[in-house]
Structure 1
Amino acid sequence: MAFDGIVIANLAKELNHKLADGRITKIAQTESDKLLLTIKKSISSPEQKTIRTQNRLVISVNPSLPLLYLTQENQNAPLQAPTFCMVLRKHLNNCKINLIEQIGLERVLCMHLEHLNEMGDYCRKKLYIELMGKHSNIIFCDENDQIIDSIKHISALVSSVREVLPGRQYFIPNTLDKYDPLTISEDDFYAKVLSRPMPLDKAIYRTLTGFSSVMANELLYRASLSDCSNASELSDDAKKHLYRNFLEMIDQIKTGDFSPNIIYKEETPVEFASLSLTEYASSGEYTIHPYQEASRMLFDYYHTKETLGRIHQKSADLRRITHTALERSQKKYDLQLKQLNDTKKRDKYKVYGELLTTYGYELKGGEKSLTCDNYYTNEPITIPLDENKSAVENAKRYFEKYAKLKRTFEALTEQTKETKEEIDHLNSISNALDIAREEEDLAAIRKELSDTGYVRHHFQKGKQNTRKAPKSKPLHYISSDGFHMYVGKNNYQNDELTFKFATGNDWWFHAKAAAGSHVIVKTEGNELPDRTFEEAARLAAHYSKAREQEKAEIDYVQKKHIKKPNGAKPGFVVYYTNYSMTISTDITGIEEAE
């Protein structure tokens, strides 16, 4: 996890800029381990006008996800405030924030507060925010670091290292003999960090406070030492080069030269940091999204992660249903193809019957075969016979075999076509589940599965909720030339985009021979530039089952040439004239509309 001391340093700078000299006007404990502070601040502008700002500070010390960020969004709080919240309200209501400082490069922030007591005298308090995994806590102290209260009480029975109880003295526990990277000397860097018998990246983040494995690997990448597995392999020159890069990184932290960024792989965030992660910049597999503020970076990262995780969890049953149906249909299709292949010998039986009818008079009875001329090919042919039957009976037997295989062929031809359409339909649903972003998308997919018989309808007894659920909307992109491009996220949306939203001269794109989204480009009567054609094709490739490939073949045609057969499944269309291109599946650089 990259929520390390460097990100905390970035947050401290941002919080001081936005909150210092502000006043806490509202305190809410929205969860057992989560605070929401509302801070108002007045700022004088260059035009001598007073600007009033309001920010909300979210502090979560959840052991699995400790987090701190600024937001404008309010959150619901319980009607009955917990004890810790009441203590804070008693002491800190309308208090002034003097300073927010980080302790070394630890994952600990100290908020220095000033307020008036009951006698009207100024008092100073401290609010320590520890964001250290399962040891995270919010601890309220007086100016002498004596604990007044904490959101989590830690007794001696829980921890033999440090008690966190009212009346105890606050101190930061020894963090496994780690060294402060802001003050470590060059000699100590060589002796303490580069002498440990372990992989070099691990030696860095296990010896220096504030460094995560992400930043340790970034440091090694900057020093061109990513391939070095152990500190013992380093030459003296390599050690000096690593130390120089280390100093440059520390200088960025000391001067507040932060550059918050999130690393994405397709639409999925994979890492974040407050310094540039240059090791990802050289890879075409990832995209880097820069931010002005660490709070926004953290909110976007965890909100997207939470959304994707929730969507994946909620889609698990739909994925299971789709996968099971797809597996069953594929087995049925393979069996049908095998049976269909067996019917290819039907014409041979027909020829046998006709030749026996023609040449059967030559047989005297008891023969096991008949060799005669095949008047269709003008070549001799040997026909196997049942020696206990006459020529007429043998001919009848072959005609019956032919008729049976012909009926089987006709039935299987229709059945294999239906089964193939079913497989294509299920693949399109599977693709829709892959690209679903919101719960509304899953609702549309569930409805399609229900309408097509894969999921049972569920009727609720009693009064029905007449309020309609939010409707899933297609993805909306804008090409480099300013044309609007729309991507269907499920089959119903694909049909609506193609046959209700698009007009005759709009362009339609779809991955060739692969399940995928319909992509519509609105022309507004204008001719599309080549670049827009390519960007729309990239969208069609990316939002299809071919997205894992480097390139995909895309069909594109004007909407007026697209037809939907009667009774066709959702999303299924036909076209008889089209253009094609092979294009990259990477959509980096294509602007998504707000």
Structure 2
Amino acid sequence: MALDGIVISNLVYELNQTILNAKISKIAQPENDELLLTCKGSNGQYRLAMSASASLPFVYLTSENKPSPMTAPTFCMVLRKHIANGRITRIYQPHMERIIHFEIEHLNEMGDLCKKSLIIELMGKHSNIIFCKDDGTIIDSIKHVSSMMSSLREVLPGKMYFIPSTQDQKHNPLMVSREEVLSIIKNKPLSLTKAIYSSFTGISPLIASEIAHRAGVDGDQPTAAFSEDELLHVANHFCWFMDEIKNEQYHPAIIRKGREPIEFSAVKLTQYQDYDCKEYDSISSVLEMYYSEKNVYTRIRQKSVDLRRIVTTALERNQKKFQLQQKQLKDTDKREKYKVYGELINAYGYQLEEGSKELVAPNYYDNDKLIKIPLDPALTPLENSKKYFDRYGKLKRTYEALTELIQETQNEILHLESIQNSLDIALSSDDLVQIKEELIEYGYIKKNRNAQKTKIKSKPFHYISSDGYDIYVGKNNYQNDELTFKFATGNDWWFHAKGMPGSHVIVKSKNEELPDRVFEEAGKLAAFYSKGRDADKVEVDYLQKKNVKKPNGSAPGFVVYYTNYSLTIHPDISELKLMES
């Protein structure tokens, strides 16, 4: 996530187009570190949301309203006292910092025109919203920062406001020439991307990486690895990039991997050409959508932490057990040798003298090649033969038992990996309910006898193909079984990623011959909702449902089939239409 100086400059540009000269008609503080300003002007009414949250600071225009507390917090009351009905006369970003200044004109109690500043600093854990007089004296802030909290700057009523000293250490990227860029980065003993983002204000690692990508060089390489001409080429691209910002050539966009948002930007990101990139008209729309979508994935991952830990622990335990069992199985490879020894002693032992330490005899299992068999001189040939047969019998029994145990362990690993995949594709608390039930059923979680049975609300994903066919994707093993063996009919088509945990995908055929495009789209879904979703290509098996069988006593989601077609496909489902459940 890159709420950097570039995104802030896009925000400032957008705010100047929408709420400049607008009147602040309403001020609310829905959360301890959030403000919501309603602004009315010639362009209409807008809501400006801003947050100084340490983990998720933001500023954007929104259509959503948030309920406010019955009693307004002190900071909100101070703002209402001074700037309610005030007019926003200037919006700017100083030195490409992650800061937005709002200059506001208002009438005081005497009817005189006064000026105030509302300053939003979007700096991670140091984020703040600060309200100042025209001369820079702090009136109040949404977070008070004392000298005990920061030795660099106090943010308290009565103190003078100043920007933290990062601008003394970094250069304004809008004010440098290509020769200055070259001089700055070539003297940094860092990787190229780090040399860029650590030298210039408002440049994030994402933007530094983008500049390196546009220049066609590896940004992870140290600056010393490049020639001066190569660094000059990078400096050219840096300046061309900043020209886009100077000329307000913004392209707000969200980068998604499948349906999960992974990045947002105010400019085109050429380094993400293999991902789905959707551009928007407004950077506010990008921020609002990104934060809400990202929050879904973040929240569900937090809720599934306990289940993930249980599955991971059980999986690691079974993988260690599997390795140990394989080692023990390898030790039983000698069993056939001992059987041959016993048989050859029985066949040729009559020739032995009493007290012999070995038998040299032709091995009729290996073209009568001579073989040396160690003997215990204290035992008779018959007793030596019995000793080898006893070893053979013990190792044979061990081999048979281990072969069965290894298969059971492999099945348990596959089962746990399938549950792990279900956790990866879960999008809501309801999706986790059936996964937890499965873990309880198979003894990974202790059953609470007093717990009331939870109503199952989770349903399979439902997609519509480009040709109008219904495609269903199971979110977990129970849904996979339900789809395949209760919902699908014999002539429907069944898809699954080959040789890896993944969802069952059913295409309702309507007893018709399906177009090739439907097979491709269903294959993409099977690939995406599998463990191979991050691979470039995934092999997918598909066949009619009537040829899919479930072995008796097998775990949920486990099936077998003996005849199928295959396709290899890129797991990109960005163009497929997901129906609301």
TM-score range, shorter chain: 0.7 to 0.9
Q: Is 1:584 aligned to 2:569, yes or no?
A: yes
Q: Are 2:61 and 1:61 equivalent residues in the alignment?
A: no
Q: 1:230 to 1:501 in 2, by over 3 A?
A: same
419, 425, 430: which one pairs with 1:440?
Answer: 430
Classify the secondary structure of the residue corresponding to 1:6.
Answer: helix
> Over residues 177-218 of structure 1, what are the superposed CA-to-partner deviations in whole Å (9 max), with x where a residue is unaligned?
444333x253xx524762451155445434433222332332
The equivalent of 2:14 in structure 1 is 14
Task: Pick the aligned partner of 1:574 from 535, 560, 568.
Answer: 560
Match of 1:32 in 2: 32
Q: Distance in 2 between matches of 1:577 and 1:56?
A: 60
Aligned AA (1:543): Y
Matches of 1:275 and 1:259, distance apart in 2: 5
Aligned letter for 2:74? T
Residue 101 of structure 2 is matched in structure 1 by 110
Q: How does 1:167-316 map to 2 (within 5 A)?
A: 167-174=158-165, 175-182=167-174, 184=175, 186=177, 190-191=179-180, 194-195=183-184, 197-198=187-188, 199=190, 200-224=192-216, 226=218, 229-230=223-224, 233-235=227-229, 239=232, 244-265=236-257, 269-281=261-273, 284=274, 286-316=275-305
Partner of 2:3: 3
- Which residue of the partner structure matches residue 132 of structure 1? 123
SS in 2 for 1:556: strand
Structure 2 residue 495 is matched with structure 1 residue 509: yes
Indicate the SS of the match to 2:278.
strand
Q: Is the 8 A contact 1:326 1:427 kept in 2?
A: yes
Letter in 1 for 2:119: Y
Alpha-carbon separation, structure 1, partners of 2:480 and 2:193: 48
Aligned mates of 1:330, 1:449 — CA distance in 2:
18
The AA in structure 1 aligned to 2:548 is I
Render the CA deviation track for 1:556-585: whole Å, top value 9, x for unaligned: 11123323344332112233432223x134
Contact kept, 8 Å, 2:255 with 2:277, in 1: the verdict is yes
Cα distance in 1 for partners of 2:218, 2:401 equals 62
1:165 is matched with which residue? 156
Equivalent residue, structure 2, for 1:492: 478
Q: What is the CA distance between 1:509 and its match in structure 2? A: 0.5
Contact 2:523 2:540 in 1 (8 A): yes
Partner Cα separation in structure 2 for residue 22 and residue 60 of structure 1 = 21
2:530 equivalent in structure 1? 544
Partner residue in 1 for 2:315:
326
* Structure 1 residue matching 2:173: 3-state secondary structure: coil
Cα drift, residue 219 of structure 1:
2.8
Q: C-alpha distance in 1, partners of 2:471/2:180?
A: 58
Equivalence for 2:578:
593
8 Å Cα contact 2:528-2:573 kept in structure 1: no
Q: Distance in 1 between matches of 2:268 and 2:257?
A: 16
What SS does structure 2 have at the residue aligned with 1:15? helix
* Whole-angstrom distance in 2 between the partners of 1:209 and 1:402: 75
Unmatched tracts of structure 2, length 5 or more: none
SS of match in other structure, 2:143: coil
Q: Distance in 1 between matches of 2:534 and 2:508?
A: 27
In 2, Cα distance between the equivalents of 1:119 and 1:304?
Answer: 48
CA contact (8 A) 1:26 1:37 kept: yes
Query: Which sits farther off after the overlay, 77-86 or 2-11?
Result: 77-86
Q: 571-580 vs 325-334, which deviates more?
A: 325-334
2:520 aligned residue: 534
Pair 1:38–1:469, CA change in 2 (3 A): farther
Residue 351 (structure 1) shift:
11
CA contact (8 A) 1:477 1:590 kept: no
Distance, in Å, in 1 between the alignment partners of 2:525 and 2:104 is 52
Instruction: Name the aligned partner's letter for residue 166 of structure 1.
Output: P
**SS of the residue 1:110 aligns to:** strand
How far is the alpha carbon of 1:99 from its aligned partner? 4.2
Please state how far the C-alpha of 1:514 moved relative to its aligned partner. 2.1
**Closer/same/farther in 2, CA of residues 36 and 458 from structure 1, 3 Å limit:** farther
Task: Indicate the SS of the match to 2:52.
Answer: strand
State the partner residue of 1:553.
539
Note the alpha carbon deviations across 1:432-469, whole angstroms, 9 max, x for none.
Answer: 22333333333321111012211111355xxx779x66
Structure-1-length-normalised TM-score: 0.78
In 1: Cα distance, 2:333 partner to 2:194 partner: 66
Question: Residues 193 and 204 of structure 1 are in contact (CA less than 8 Å); yes or no, is this contact kept in structure 2?
Answer: no
Contact 2:181 2:235 in 1 (8 A): no
How far apart, CA to CA, are the structure 1 residues paired with 2:386 and 2:476?
54
Please list the CA deviations of residues 398-455 of structure 1 after superposition, one character each: whole Å capped at 9, or x if unmatched.
9999998888787666655544432321221122223333333333211110122111
| Residue aligned with 1:426, SS | helix
Whichever residue aligns with residue 234 of structure 1, its letter is E
CA-CA distance at 1:278 after TM superposition? 1.8
Q: Which runs of 5+ in 1 are unaligned?
A: 44-51
Per-residue CA distance 1:96-141 (angstroms, 9 max, x = gap)? 4444332342222122334454455654432111223344321112
CA distance in 1, matches of 2:315, 2:537: 25
Question: CA–CA distance in 2 between the matches of 1:358 and 1:179?
Answer: 92
Partner of 1:472: 458
| Aligned-residue offset at 1:87 | 0.8
Query: Is contact 1:16–1:100 with CA below 8 Å preserved after alignment?
Result: yes
Q: Deviation of residue 530 (structure 1)?
A: 1.9
When the two chains are superposed, the root-mean-square deviation of aligned CA atoms in Å is: 4.5
Note if contact 1:479-1:590 (Cα within 8 Å) is conserved in structure 2.
no
How far apart, in 1, do the equivalents of 2:462 and 2:228 lie? 51
Query: Cα 1:396–1:246, aligned 2, differ >3 Å: closer, same or farther?
Result: closer
Q: Give the secondary structure class of the aligned counterpart of 2:472.
A: strand
Distance 1:212 1:332, change over 3 A: closer
2:470 aligned partner, one-letter code: H
Equivalent position amino acid for 2:172 in 1: D
Compared CA separation, residues 428 and 76, structure 1 to 2 (3 A):
same
Name the SS for the 1:149 alignment partner.
strand
**Separation in 2 of the partners of 1:58 and 1:15?**
12
Given that 1:485 and 1:520 are in contact with CA atoms closer than 8 Å, whether structure 2 keeps it comes out as yes
Query: If the length of structure 2 is used for normalisation, what is the TM-score?
Result: 0.80
> Residues 497 and 527 of structure 2 are in contact (CA less than 8 Å); yes or no, is this contact kept in structure 1?
yes
Kept in 1, the 8 Å contact 2:497–2:538? The answer is: yes
Give the length in aligned residue pairs.
571
Inter-CA distance 400–167: structure 2 relative to 1 (3 Å threshold):
closer
Q: CA deviation at 1:536?
A: 1.8
**Greater mean alpha carbon deviation, residues 333-342 or residues 150-159:** 333-342
SS of 1:296's equivalent? helix
Distance in 1 between residues matched to 2:455 and 2:490, nearest whole Å: 31
Answer whether contact 2:525 2:573 (CA < 8 A) is retained: no
2:444 counterpart letter in structure 1: Y
> How big is the shift at 1:150?
1.4
1:533-566 deviation line (CA, Å, top 9, x unaligned): 1232232233223445543432211123323344
- What is the rounded CA distance, in whole Å, between the counterparts of 1:502 and 1:416 in structure 2? 33
What amino acid is aligned across from residue 19 of structure 1 in structure 2?
I
Which piece of structure 1 moves more, 55-64 or 469-478? 469-478
Q: 1:317 to 1:13 in 2, by over 3 A?
A: same
Q: Is the 8 A contact 1:61 1:137 kept in 2?
A: yes
Cα pair 1:193 1:203 within 8 Å, conserved: no
